[in-house]
Structure 1
Amino acid sequence: MTISPSAVDGAVSETAASQAFEAIKRDLIRGRFAAGEKLAISALKAEYQVGLSPLREALNRLSAYGLLEQHNQRGFRVPPLSEQELEDIARLRIQLECMALTQAMQQGDAEWESQLLAAQHRLLRADQQPSQVEQWEQAHLRFHRTLLAPCGSPWLLRFIGQLHDQFDRYRRLAPPNPAIRAQLDAQHSELVEMALDRRIQDARSLLEQHIQLSWQVAQGATGC
């Protein structure tokens, strides 16, 4: 079978668009771009070393994902920070993650327990290196994903992942709160104990508290 040059070009463009999507998404969540900032296409092309077509594809996908706003004939802007939006995101997180946690604890097996303990260990190691922010962020994300992984619903996990990304944009722009951070860190280990013991109601209550505490921190990004 002969693969046409146009098919190869299309595959390369799609790969470039996916890479640009992931790189820009990561920087949007990290707060590299200011809320309300208009993104300059020429600057993005140079910064991310990507062509115009795959770049526009990536920006369109980020707009559909909710991390950018697209304005007709005026390009793309970073969404503003909104106390109301943050509240909506946090409340949805509580509802969906508690649902996923219940299903995960009902369906999780010994392999999941092993993976959860490993994710906890990596997070504890990252907690001991406060200067390594990105290492902690990755370990934290992996922990929460592992906690909910066996829930059995790819769509539920997809929605939760999107909400996490939106929430983290606020959290990472907020001023540090060491006292609350210490509580959150301790709750990770408590969640593991409850998950292993299949204490579903206790775990749901703690996860709700966990998200509410993190929400309290994230509100600092909106000046509340």
Structure 2
Amino acid sequence: MNKPIGNTGNTASQLTPQLKQDILNGIFKADEKLVMSHLKQRYGVGIGPLREALSQLVVEKLVIVENQRGFRVHPISRHEMLDLYQTRSYIEARCIVQAIQRGSVDWEADVLAAMHRMRKAKNLINQGFTGLLQWETKHQNFHATIASGCGSQSLLQIRQSLYERTARYRLLWLRNSMASNDYFNKIHSEHQQLVDCVLSRDTVRAEKLMFAHLQAPPQTLDKKLDHVVTTCHAKKPSA
């Protein structure tokens, strides 16, 4: 029997982020049935905390509940992907505009540091799924650092929600595209252009660049989402 990854006696508040991260990282694939006995063993918890955590993830649209049939991971679709990324592109573009208008010199320094950490982590993309996730953490920290200068908690909360809802599509994009050095260099060039806009305080160019940059995943996956999902699920990451 596998040792539970959580602490025995986990409450729902402790379990929810663990379960959410496993869904976002593809441990549980889209539309997969979530079997209570397996979840109890994996997380070392009882039915009560599991149901409470799953109900919270239903609210966050990561899990669906089926009458008399339990819980299932929320399916993915081309329509949802395009809708989420279109909305997220608008929000990220708004964040960088406000950040450039309001951000301090310290914020600029934080953006430069995040860019440096991401650039130094390039070798991680060639180290399998775990390395890809480690690079993605630095990648998202870069974008979060840019957005942090906007000065609006409401805007940042909306951004975070959209980031989480696009995470599974982004994971498919990463596994399908980022192993290519040419593609990685293209994305890195876009990141450098965003940094240049931050330093020159060019809101007009930054807004256009950020919107276009956020369209890379849906443009790559569009019209071949089903094939990419099938291929990646065949190589489902181990827990």
Specify if TM > 0.5.
yes
Q: CA deviation at 1:51?
A: 2.6
How do 1:59-98 and structure 2 match up within 5 A? 59-98=54-93
The corresponding residue for 2:154 is 155
Shift of 1:170: 1.3
Do the aligned residues in 2 keep the contact of 1:90 with 1:215 (CA within 8 Å)?
yes
Q: Which residue does 1:123 correspond to in 2?
A: 118
Return the alpha-carbon distance in structure 1 between the equivalents of residues 66 and 33 of structure 2.
10
Deviation of 1:125 (Å): 1.4
Change (3 A) 1:155 1:222: farther
Matching residue within 188, 192, 195 for 1:189:
192
Whole-angstrom CA distance in 1 between matches of 2:116 and 2:12: 35
SS at match of 1:196: helix
Higher mean C-alpha displacement, 91-100 vs 66-75: 66-75
Shift of 1:128: 2.9
May I ask how many residue pairs the two structures share in their alignment?
212
How far the C-alpha of 1:182 sits from its partner, in A, is 2.7
What is the TM-score when the length of structure 2 is the normalising length?
A: 0.82
Q: Which residue of 34, 39, 42 maps to 2:37?
A: 42
Aligned to 2:214, what secondary structure does the other structure show?
helix
Deviation at 1:96, TM superposition (A): 1.1
Aligned residue identity for 1:171: R
Deviation at 1:222, TM superposition (A): 3.5
Deviations 1:81-120 (A, max 9, x none): 2111001001101111111111111110011111111111
Unaligned runs of 5+ in 1: 1-11
Q: Which amino acid aligns with 1:212?
A: Q
**Could you say which residue in structure 2 is the equivalent of 1:164?**
163
Choose the corresponding residue for 1:221, options 221, 225, 231: 225
SS in 1 for 2:27: coil
Query: What residue is the counterpart of 1:207 in the other structure?
Result: 210
Does structure 1 retain, via aligned residues, the 8 Å contact 2:88–2:159? yes
Percent identity over paired residues = 36
Task: Check whether the contact 1:171–1:217 (CA below 8 A) recurs between aligned residues.
Answer: no
Q: TM-score, normalised by structure 1?
A: 0.87
Tell me how far 1:180 sits from its aligned partner.
Answer: 3.4
Distance 1:159 1:96 in 2: 8
Q: Shift of residue 129 of structure 1? A: 2.5
Select the structure that is richer in helix: 1
Partner of 2:231: none
For structure 2, the residue ranges without an aligned partner over 5 or more in a row are 1-7, 229-239
Q: Distance in 2 between matches of 1:149 and 1:80?
A: 31
